[in-house]
Chains A and B, each alone.
Chain A
Amino acid sequence: MNTNSSALKIGETATITAVNLDEIPLKLLEMGCLPGNKITLLQVAPFGDPLYFNVNDSHVAIRVETAREISVLKDN
């Protein structure tokens, strides 16, 4: 199912299909947030933001607004 990474549930894994280069900082790309790589939602902070992901084996927290710019395809 095509969606963006902010719509994942805790524990769900997906494959990144595209990232919006205008909104995604280079640093995140360098951590491996790139098309083709796996992304798993690990934790959600209290009040629903930020989100804590495992991207390409990097453990990283980003805000929901950034997570929305990462398009993913959910694994079945």
Chain B
Amino acid sequence: MSSNLIKVALIGNPNVGKTSVFNELTGLNQQVGNYPGITVEKKQGVCKLSDSVKAKIIDLPGTYSLNASSIDENVVIELLLNKNDEDFPNVAVVVTEVENLKRNLLLFTQIKDLEIPTILVINMADRMQLKGIELNIPILEKELKTKIALVSSRKKIGIENLKNLILNYETLSTEPCLHASSIDPDYFNNLRRAFPNQLLYKLWLVITQDVNFLNLDRNEIKSSFTKSHADLKRLQQKETIKRYQFINDTLKIGQKIDVSKASDIRAKIDRILTHKIFGYVIFFGILMLIFQFLFDWSSIPMDFIDETFANFSSLAKQNLPAGEFTNLISEGIIPGIGGIVIFIPQIAFLFLFISVLEESGYMSRVVFLMDKIMRRFGLSGKSIVPLISGTACAIPAIMGARNIENWKERLITILVTPFTTCSARLPVYAILISLIIPEKRVLGFLSLQGLTLMTLYLLGFGMAIFSAFILNKYLKLNCKSYFVVEMPSYKIPMFKNVGINVLEKTRAFVTGAGKIILALSIILWYLGSHGLSDDFNNAEKNVVAELQSKNIKLNPSLIEDKVNAYKLENSYIGYMGKTIEPVIKPLGYDWKIGVAVVSSFAAREVFVGTLATIYSVGSHSDEETTIKNRMAAEVHPITGNKVFNFATGISLLLFYAFAMQCISTLAIVKKETNSWKWPIVQLVFMSGFAYLTALIAYQVLK
């Protein structure tokens, strides 16, 4: 074959550093997308092997074996069984880890059975000495019928060798390393006779799991070769035992472990991190640190961004020729973009913390620590990962619930995760808190605003747990509860992996949410600066007439203000706001806040952007004003009181804490639960509850 593009599939167990190897091979030359129709992340990248040959590398989801138990794992099997898939690999690279070689090789022997050219990567080779492990590579290569690349992605060793092996993939053996069919010779012989043109192991996989298989009629095989579920499972167990026998025999001659050298750092750290008291203290300490960090530290770049965009806006206004187009740029687009960019520091920090916790291996300990408690509420210890990553964004969090084995626990996790405080709520909280909570410190170092933010986070968690408890009581679902959590060894997170992850997630969030915000801010600007009625078009005349009739004299700039306010009130947006005012008035909101609440139904962060757009329409054009200052100055036209007072602020905070204001989340819940029922239940319950609490809070506090 003379193709200059070699297709490579990167396969491996979770926690073996597969992504590190992928990052080393492709650098920043990677794209993340989705597999069509499902929300499994598809990562691929390009790697230059020589002057004329490149490799297209596909990073497949981590899997323990070719027996799929989740959609993520299904992706692996479907690709490897389908020769017609455009991504069907020329060569499979199986990544294993030196300390877990025995278990990792199980998947390797399965891949070999598919007769695809296969390279074995033994990663984390730099830890061999520390762990007292010695490998006899020539023997292993001979027994496993493959070529081995010893790699340390951390120390950047062995990558060139791996590239060379990929380049010369055509010389690799495609012979299986063992004959799994000997577990039931009669059965497999019959199968072979019935389908002489098909790979035996492929047939076996098709029989044992639900794979969409294109060129084989599954029903045909199934009807004549089906065994009872229990029999199949017994055979699968036999197969697994057989594979382990082979692996043990191979490692006996190819691997030496000096047990005395193996340090037990993992055991020592485990003893502290999973301790019944210190374990929780450390966990809550880490959470608290994250939130203090998040509010105190990210406010510096956020203030800077806020002011920069205000400056941009007035610069544009001064330097571009006056007219519709300039207004669109300076009042619609620039504040709109500013409303997106301002999140970047906090989102990046959040993703940074989460990916450090995951990479280091700590997250699995939290799962272990929390399982018993979470189960009382119908959740699983594994729900803690969605609940924590929900603080960044509910969408990846809900997808992360996939590895919860029990459907009921998974469903409850999906339903309650949107209560956790996602980063889209942050800008709303940040601006409201800074308006209504004084900038004081308690005990000398804890900022009162930071504490308020933390309270809101706890409120979100509390509500999630409480609704889980209710759902657990009333959902009648009987599911077998399986819970298997691998406890990986502790590792210092690799800067490159964390960096790429933070960059990727932040970019996806900003572009995803950014499009909605930008579009909405343009629409809002239009609706706010145009009106149908005579009142709008004759604003100036009407205002002047009214002032004259009351015999009031004002200087020109104040008159202009009055005119603008009058225009806004009679614009399209003014009408819309006024229409819904009766519904939101009991919560303490005026029609401008109402417009912001309604437009932020698509995505919460739109709230701030909308207010920015609405207010900049009604403010002095020659002054630079930040959104916050503008909101602080807003007074009620009749009473003269501040609009964003304590009662309204708290009412808004509570509303945003509980309401289901995110279309993307509803869409993902529909996808993950495969029905409209659950997203609708979620919407009605969350938003109804939000309205009620906001109402009570305002009526009590006002």
Residues of A within 8 A of B (CB): 19, 21-23, 25-32, 34-37, 42-43, 45-50, 52, 56-63, 65-66
Contacts and interface: CB of A to CB of B under 8 A. Distances in A.
A10 B471 CA distance: 36
Interface of B: 64-65, 67, 69, 100, 102-103, 106, 230, 233-234, 236-237, 240-241, 244, 266-267, 270-271, 274, 276, 279-280, 364, 367-369, 371-373, 381, 405, 480-489
A22 B230 contact: yes
B64 A52 contact: no
28 contacts: A21-B233, A25-B69, A26-B233, A26-B240, A27-B69, A27-B482, A29-B236, A29-B237, A29-B240, A31-B64, A31-B103, A42-B267, A42-B270, A43-B274, A45-B274, A46-B280, A49-B372, A52-B368, A52-B487, A56-B102, A57-B103, A59-B489, A61-B371, A61-B484, A61-B485, A61-B487, A62-B485, A63-B371
A37 B485 CA distance: 19
Complex A-B, nearest 8 residue pairs according to Cβ-Cβ distance, in ascending order: A46-B276, A59-B487, A47-B372, A61-B485, A25-B482, A30-B65, A63-B483, A61-B368
A49 B515 CA distance: 46
Q: Chain B: interface secondary structure?
A: helix
Nearest to A58: B103
Contacts of A29: 236-237, 240
Contacts of A42: 267, 270
A47 B373 CA distance: 8
Given A43-B270, A43-B271, A60-B487, A21 B371 contact: no
A47 to B, nearest CB: 4
Contact of B230 (A21, A27, A31, A37): A21
B270 A49 contact: no
Contacts of A48: 372
B344 to A, nearest CB: 36
A57 to B, nearest CB: 6
Contact of B483 (A35, A46, A50, A57): A50
A65 B481 contact: yes
A45 B369 CA distance: 6
Nearest to B361: A59
A25 B373 CA distance: 23
A62 B486 CA distance: 9
B100 A58 contact: yes
B240 to A, nearest CB: 5
A34 B248 CA distance: 13
Contacts of B234: 21
A48 B372 CA distance: 8
Given A32-B103, A43-B274, 12 more contacts: A21-B233, A21-B234, A29-B237, A34-B241, A43-B271, A45-B369, A45-B372, A49-B371, A61-B364, A61-B367, A61-B485, A65-B481
Contact of A59 (B106, B280, B486): B486
B42 to A, nearest CB: 23
A67 to B, nearest CB: 10
Given A56-B102, A60-B485, A66-B483, A45 B371 contact: yes
A54 to B, nearest CB: 9
B102 A57 contact: yes
Contacts of B487: 52, 59-61
A30 B107 CA distance: 9
Nearest to A23: B480
Contacts of B485: 50, 60-62
Contacts of A36: 241
A61 B204 CA distance: 30
A42 B237 CA distance: 25
Nearest to B367: A61
Given A43-B271, A59-B487, A34 B237 contact: yes
Contact of B236 (A26, A46, A58): A26
B484 to A, nearest CB: 5
B79 to A, nearest CB: 20
